[in-house]
Structure 1
Amino acid sequence: MLRRWSSGRLASLCKPQASSHCPDSSGLPADGLLRLLSFNIQVGISTQRYHHYLTRSWQHLLPHTGRASNLQRIGALLTDYDLVALQEVDGGSLRSGYVNQVEHLAELGGFPYWYQQLNRNLGRLAQHSNGVLTRLHPTQLEDHPLPGPPGRGAILMRFGEGSDALAVVVMHLALGARVRARQLAYIRELLSGYRHQVLMGDMNTHAVDLLQHSPLRDLGLLAPQVEATFPSWRPQRCLDHILISPGLSLERVEVLSQPISDHLPVAVDIRLPGHQAGGTLESSKTLVTGPHS
């Protein structure tokens, strides 16, 4: 059964400040420009070598002094974006010092709305979650546990109404290919009926696999051919993605050189249909496309 939440479940931290980039009556930015970021923050743990997975493994269970400064660095990084997808965040347990990291990062980044999706509840030990931070108020928000072993989830948001509505899915997919295929089939079903689509998150596989060999292949999605995101200290694999539908214009794509977690964050600027770009394309990188794009 699907868990469906209205946008009223989003927590309001403050009133959005007026700017030239403020939303119009549809809830979408008036200038059509949307700045997106996806980041697996590994609950604020800094990993710089493979052996740190062993020597720092205790930080997944217990608090440590460096976590607060890492979150400060992440919060400063987020201020330039309109919509942020977070993976591997803690919802407030012993290891995070009982700090809801989604709420805390929303406050640090000045986001008026945030949502925490609790996917693995280990009580006081861990509140393993996905998170969304947004400056735009979604017209609908749905919380979906994904197929497979418990612990993976997706958040579906809709911005605007009618045929021009934008559907955004935030996810953290499974490591195994078979389970991941089931999860992508579920997400494909969520997106049925939406013309404009954005998929964000740690997808644990490469873009070619997602766009050409998965249940997403008939959507015609585009993937910026970005640099590798994992491991952050010597990136070799591109596991973190922001996929967009063909009707959305890409203006910028970047993997940020911010080795705070074991993943690097991915940033994409898109222009919504019906809005003319105000400047030149900042990235000339090739796109990976699905077979029907």
Structure 2
Amino acid sequence: MKLRVMTYNIASGHNYEEDRRQDLAFAQGVIEQYQPDIVGLNEVQENSRVSQYTSQTQILAKGLEMYGYFGPALPMNDGLYGNAMLSKFAASTEVIPIPDPEVKNEDTYYETRCLMKNEIQLEQKITVLVTHFGLARQEKKNAVETVMRTLRGIEGPVVLMGDFNALPHDDVIAPLFTVLKDTALITEDPLLSWPSDRPDRKIDHILVSPQIQVHHVFVPVTRASDHRPYIADIEL
């Protein structure tokens, strides 16, 4: 079965044009243009001041005629903030907390993170993991450990995607590549995804189980968010 999957940090709906205006229509238009079957979203607001006390997940799901699932990572702006998945198929969802570092001694911004585990029954069951790693190295280590522990309990094909805040060769995410394969390996395109106006790094990733075929990958040119989306055409 062929699927198009997309990972997209939507910056809570803020575009990356000069006005930095917030309007979910920007991100919705990009998703609609490329017609993915499954989308992993980062930086999603749920019933918060920033989202005018609405569900960004359900607004996008309704507009795109997809199922929408939200995975809260932490309270923010009088509401919730985290990851989400949009899918053409119904799913069962579990939110797995990523532990905060016990000591926060790195000179960077810290934020509580989570991992969404979404099970979708197609011709066979597929598990889609959606996450957003932290900026601090110890945050990323905790995230990788959480993903690896989760993977050990999964049977069948897996797609892991999200904003890892790490380059492909960063040793902190290296354990992931011992059990999953990087969809980016099929191309010499650097697939730069951030910042969206002049991208100079690849920090958005899609990894899949070894048995999943990867046919095509690309990063659309858009400034609907500070990240560009990353898309992979795969086959189970």
Q: Normalising TM by the smaller chain, what interval? A: 0.7 to 0.9
Q: Which residue of 2 aligns with 1:229?
A: 193
33, 41, 45: which one aligns with 1:86? 41
Q: Which residue of 2 aligns with 1:204?
A: 165
Q: CA deviation at 1:48?
A: 4.4
* CA deviation vs aligned residue, 1:6-51 (integer Å, no higher than 9, x gap): xxxxxxxxxxxxxxxxxxxxxxxxxx011111111111112347xx
Residue ranges of structure 1 left out of the alignment (5+ in a row): 1-31, 57-65, 273-293
Contact 1:76/1:108, CA 8 A, preserved across alignment = no
Distance 2:140 2:174 in 1: 9
Distance 1:208 1:151 in 2: 24
173, 177, 180: which one aligns with 2:137? 177
TM-score, scaled to structure 2: 0.85
Distance 1:89 1:131 in 2: 7
Contact 2:30/2:224, CA 8 A, preserved across alignment = no
Q: Does 1:67 align with 2:22?
A: yes
Distance 1:86 1:39 in 2: 5
Distance 2:98 2:14 in 1: 25
Task: Spell out the pairing of 1:150-189 with structure 2 (5 A cutoff).
Answer: 151-160=112-121, 164-189=124-149
- Which one has a larger percent strand, Structure 1 or Structure 2? 2
Q: CA deviation at 1:198?
A: 0.8
Q: CA deviation at 1:209?
A: 2.6
59, 63, 88: which one aligns with 1:135? 88
Distance 2:39 2:233 in 1: 12
Q: CA deviation at 1:161?
A: 8.5
Contact 2:72/2:95, CA 8 A, preserved across alignment = no
The structure having more radius of gyration, on CA atoms, is: 1
Aligned AA for 1:34? L
Aligned AA for 2:10? I
* CA deviation vs aligned residue, 1:153-208 (integer Å, no higher than 9, x gap): 1101122389x532210000011122211211111111114342211110111223
Distance 1:75 1:119 in 2: 22
Task: Spell out the pairing of 1:1-293 with structure 2 (5 A cutoff).
Answer: 32-48=1-17, 66-68=21-23, 71-79=24-32, 80-111=35-66, 113-122=67-76, 124=78, 126-138=79-91, 140-148=92-100, 151-160=112-121, 164-192=124-152, 193-209=154-170, 214-225=174-185, 226-272=190-236
User: Is the partner of 1:96 in helix, strand or coil?
Assistant: coil
Q: RMSD of aligned C-alpha atoms? A: 2.3
After superposition, the Cα gap between the structure-2 partners of 1:101 and 1:161, relative to the gap in structure 1 and judged at 3 Å, is closer
Q: CA deviation at 1:116?
A: 1.1
TM-score, scaled to structure 1: 0.69
Report how many aligned residue pairs link the two structures.
220
After superposition, the Cα gap between the structure-2 partners of 1:177 and 1:198, relative to the gap in structure 1 and judged at 3 Å, is same
Contact 1:130/1:171, CA 8 A, preserved across alignment = yes
User: Is the partner of 2:22 in helix, strand or coil?
Assistant: helix
* Identity across matched positions, percent: 28
Contact 1:207/1:223, CA 8 A, preserved across alignment = no
